[in-house]
DNA sequence: GCTGGCACTCGCACAGCAGGAGTGCCAGCC
DNA sequence: GGCTGGCACTCCTGCTGTGCGAGTGCCAGC
């Protein structure tokens, strides 16, 4: 039916106008700005239907319409094409990210870049430990009975732990331990590392067995502990822009939720590298994120998402643009990490 | 003169009342809430003098008085006693920081703790590289002609760099390189590391000389580069609290300045571990920090500040409390880092 | 099924007004 | 000389009421 067709066209127009003007959009303005081929009165009828179906709503009786979460959802799913980035934007990404010296540098540049491109709050997750593999394990002696373990993953992430050993150890024992640990764990994915421990204990020479047991216990703690996943957040200043317009009351609960990290990490856990995930308003099922949308995607090679990154902003955001930016940055970060 | 004495007492009362109520304070309210022993009329005379001297001002003709930056300065310098933390607060610090597993954990817990105690934005600087000493250098082979250097400082900070070597290297060369580097640099302060390079190059066996040169070049780059100083920021949600009252316009410029990091790092560069530094409003000489005060102190042992930490908030803040909290947390962080 | 017309609703901005807090000044008192 | 109570004055704040405009829903006509 050409009928329904036009109604969707009206919804798309409403979303676009509302996103760009931040004013509830009325039938007259709509017919002027878009070539819908029908009069305002007809649009009004369509709007009444759209409202009944729950795609739009009016803030008060005699105001224009505003999309609901459901309306944005339909827009994202069916009405928007992914907007390719401009050449200038692509160039900006390269210029911004090239020259990063280490993992932290890559991620903090990414977060700044993303915040700048989208003018939203950007969030980048460190490569999840559990999905990485061990590149190297280093053992450093700090004192007679105190060692420092340094774990380097294939994504360049470095974790360190101090271990107090049950007995004093000497330099040769440290060297043996280092060799032992590396031969057991290098190349092993961290999720699978636990399975290697019994083996390791068996093959370890008797005089090292106690030491190995203590050290692997600490190691497992480090590796398995998923709470250690870290986030880099940037662009919070963008929240103070649209101000009262975008968020009910203040941005405070949102800032708090972002600092909590847990909330964002949970959202991040669902991403994969192939599709951009969009969660709109209430879909986030977290009070503080009411009125906020979350656009995210995984980075890393297609078969293996190392972590996620994305942006958080008002539901009234430019979805096509944000989705494109998030995807482009994720791809670039994936490349960078793959080659290092 | 008992005269001046009382006038200062009035100033102190004004600061205290204004900080706690956030309303310009009038002579009547002042005489009711404080035991100044004189009538409102007398207080009015004192206030007129204080205003003439620039310590207080009135937002508009018929309103109460508000302290100026100069007034806060006098208050901090001469009128406030350091408020000792409550037992509960001390206990909270210990509970919060004990159990931190590594450097990043210590710092991110500190920043959250500080934000919670003061209800301001908290800022913690990573131990400055240049002031630390080398604890260990690790060399990991990534590919035939690609090595990863991992530098561990005595404060637990870990830095890593990837180096492409001019020629392929084998495992024994890597081991030799590791020994060489460690014997040359362990225990050396990073600022002094540059001086060791010529020595190192001379003593290196000829077949390693090229390799050593490349590697030390990268190393120096890492060490000398002071821009790599990092910050952890938390509690930005506290900015959205007092809202329009505390900051002119929005908190946006402040958030931007915080994310810039450079601004804060410059302020941090001036701290030492013995005295709490307070910069009030205009003293910060940075536009975005107008209306903001910065309370900071160095952490580390008395003779050697490793880095700084502090809080940023409206000039209208509880200085004695914030100073006490900042100092207490800095001490505790200093202890933690000293023993690890 | 679309369109133009029309009456109606309702938020917003602005003006006007009363109330109140706070001040400065002055004359008197200790 | 310094403190005090009294008093007139200022000016912000909050409230109310009104006009305006945008936008709607509905209806009759094409």
Domains in chain A, CATH or no CATH each: 1-68 (1.10.10.10), 87-128+229-339 (3.30.450.40), 130-224 (3.30.390.60)
Question: What is the C-alpha to C-alpha distance for residues B298 and B124, in angstroms, rounded to an integer?
Answer: 10
Q: Is the pLDDT of residue A228 over 80?
A: no
Distances in whole angstroms, Cα of residue A318 to Cα of each of A120, A276, B191: 10, 14, 48
Q: Is residue A42 within a helix (H) or strand (E), and if so which, with residue range? A: helix A40-52
Q: Among partner residues B158, B159, B236, which is closest to A236 by beta-carbon distance?
A: B236
pLDDT band of residue A269 (cuts 50, 70, 90) is confident
Q: Which DSSP category does A86 fall into?
A: P
pLDDT band of residue A225 (cuts 50, 70, 90) is low
Q: For B70-97, b where at least 16 C-beta lie within 10 A, e where not — what string?
A: bbbbbbbeebbeeeebeeeeeeebeebb
Q: Is the pLDDT of residue B3 over 80?
A: no
B183 touches A: beta carbon within 8 Å = no
Chain B residues with beta carbon closer than 8 angstroms to that of A157: none
Whether B1 CB is under 7 Å from strand D: no
Question: What is the C-alpha to C-alpha distance for residues B66 and B27, in angstroms, rounded to an integer?
Answer: 12
Nucleotides of C under 7 A from a protein CB: 1-5, 8-11, 20-26
Q: Which DSSP category does A269 fall into?
A: T
Q: Is residue A299 within a helix (H) or strand (E), and if so which, with residue range? A: strand A292-299
Phi, psi of A167 (to 5 degrees): -130, 165
pLDDT band of residue B252 (cuts 50, 70, 90) is confident
Please report the pLDDT score of residue A81 as a whole number: 81
Please report the pLDDT score of residue B222 as a whole number: 74
Task: Render B42-102 in DSSP notation, one character per residue.
Answer: HHHHHHHHHHHTTSEE-SSTTS-BEE-HHHHHHIIIII----PPPHHHHHHHHHHHTT--S
Per-residue pLDDT tens digits for B118-147: 999 999 999 887 778 888 888 888 888 889
Please report the pLDDT score of residue B1 as a whole number: 47
Question: What is the C-alpha to C-alpha distance for residues B259 and B230, in angstroms, rounded to an integer?
Answer: 11
pLDDT band of residue B313 (cuts 50, 70, 90) is very high
Among A38-47, B66-75, B146-155, B317-326, the least confident range: B146-155
Query: What average pLDDT does this structure show over A270-286?
Result: 88
Which residue in this structure is represented by tokens 């450093």?
A140
Inter-chain contact A237–B243, Cβ cutoff 8 Å?
Answer: no
Chain B residues with beta carbon closer than 8 angstroms to that of A160: 102-103, 152, 156, 158
Distances in whole angstroms, Cα of residue B33 to Cα of each of A207, B5, B18, B36, B321: 74, 18, 12, 9, 21
Q: Is the pLDDT of residue A302 over 80?
A: no
Distances in whole angstroms, Cα of residue A100 to Cα of each of A316, B164, B259: 33, 15, 18
Q: Is the pLDDT of residue A279 over 90?
A: yes
A340 touches B: beta carbon within 8 Å = yes
Q: Both tokens of residue B170?
A: 């084998």
Which residue in this structure is represented by tokens 């216990």?
A217
Q: Is residue B104 within a helix (H) or strand (E), and if so which, with residue range? A: helix B103-118
Closest-CA residue to A26 (of A8, A38, A40, A9): A40
Query: What average pLDDT does this structure show over B25-49?
Result: 91
Q: Which DSSP category does A133 fall into?
A: B
Please indicate whether residue A223 or residue A219 has the higher confidence score (pLDDT): A219
Per-residue pLDDT tens digits for B147-201: 988 888 888 888 888 888 888 999 899 889 988 998 899 888 888 888 888 888 8
Phi, psi of A294 (to 5 degrees): -130, 120
Whether A26 CB is under 7 Å from strand D: yes
- A58 to chain B nearest CA, in Å? 28
In percent, how much of chain A has pLDDT > 90? 39
Whether A207 CB is under 7 Å from strand C: no
Per-residue pLDDT tens digits for A133-182: 888 888 888 888 989 888 888 888 888 888 889 889 998 999 899 889 98
Question: What is the C-alpha to C-alpha distance for residues A217 and B290, in angstroms, rounded to an integer?
Answer: 51
Q: Is the pLDDT of residue B303 over 80?
A: no
Whole-prediction pTM: 0.86
Q: Angle at CA B209, nearest 5°, toward B206 and B214? A: 170
Query: What average pLDDT does this structure show over A113-119?
Result: 95
Q: Among partner residues B162, B243, B250, which is closest to A340 by beta-carbon distance?
A: B162
User: Do B113 and B234 meet the contact criterion of CB atoms below 8 Å apart?
Assistant: no
Please report the pLDDT score of residue B148 as a whole number: 87
Question: What is the C-alpha to C-alpha distance for residues A95 and B309, in angstroms, rounded to an integer?
Answer: 32
Question: What is the C-alpha to C-alpha distance for residues B136 and A71, in angstroms, rounded to an integer?
Answer: 57
Mean pLDDT, rounded, of chain B:
88
- A94 to chain B nearest CA, in Å? 20
Q: Considering only CA atoms, name the residue closest to the C1' of nucleotide C23.
A: B62
Q: Among partner residues B101, B235, B252, which is closest to A237 by beta-carbon distance?
A: B252
CA-based nearest residue in chain A for residue B253: A237
Whether A48 CB is under 7 Å from strand C: no
For chain A, how are helix, strand and coil distributed in percent, rounded to 5?
55, 20, 25
Q: Both tokens of residue A217?
A: 């216990």
Q: Both tokens of residue A299?
A: 């980075």
Among A78-82, B62-66, B326-330, the least confident range: A78-82
Whether B263 CB is under 7 Å from strand C: no
Per-residue pLDDT tens digits for A304-318: 778 899 999 999 999
Task: Render A7-21 in DSSP notation, one character per residue.
Answer: HHHHHHHHHHHHHHH
Phi, psi of A24 (to 5 degrees): -55, 140
């Amino acid at each position: 039916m050409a009928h329904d067709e036009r109604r969707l066209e009206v919804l798309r127009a409403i979303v676009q106008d509302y996103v760009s003007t931040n004013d509830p959009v009325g039938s007259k303005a709509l017919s002027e700005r878009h070539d819908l081929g029908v009069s305002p009165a007809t649009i009004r009828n369509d709007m009444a239907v759209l409202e009944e179906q729950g795609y739009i709503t009016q803030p008060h009786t005699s105001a224009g319409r505003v999309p609901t979460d459901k309306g944005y959802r339909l827009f994202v799913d069916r009405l928007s094409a992914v907007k390719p980035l401009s050449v200038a934007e692509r160039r900006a990404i390269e210029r911004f990210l090239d020259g990063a010296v280490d993992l932290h540098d890559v991620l903090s540049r990414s977060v700044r870049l993303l915040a700048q491109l989208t003018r939203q709050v950007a969030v980048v997750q460190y490569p999840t430990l559990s999905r990485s593999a061990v590149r190297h394990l280093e053992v450093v002696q700090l004192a007679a009975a105190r060692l420092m373990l340094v774990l380097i993953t294939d994504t360049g992430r470095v974790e360190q732990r101090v271990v107090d050993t049950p007995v004093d150890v000497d330099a040769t024992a440290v060297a043996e331990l280092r060799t032992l640990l590396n031969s057991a764990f290098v190349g092993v994915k961290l999720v699978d590392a636990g399975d290697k421990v019994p083996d390791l204990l068996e093959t370890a020479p008797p005089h090292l067995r106690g030491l190995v047991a203590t050290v692997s216990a600490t190691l497992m703690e480090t590796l398995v502990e998923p709470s250690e996943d870290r986030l880099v957040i940037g662009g919070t200043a963008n929240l103070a822009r649209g101000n009262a317009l975008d968020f009910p009351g203040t941005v405070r609960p949102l800032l708090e939720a972002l600092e909590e990290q847990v909330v964002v990490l949970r959202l991040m856990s669902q991403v994969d590298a192939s599709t951009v995930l969009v969660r709109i308003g209430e879909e986030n099922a977290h009070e503080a994120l009411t009125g906020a949308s979350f656009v995210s995607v995984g980075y890393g090679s297609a078969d293996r998402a190392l972590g996620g990154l994305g942006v958080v902003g008002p539901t009234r955001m430019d979805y096509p643009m944000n989705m494109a930016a998030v995807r482009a940055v994720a791809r670039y970060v994936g490349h960078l990490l793959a080659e290092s």
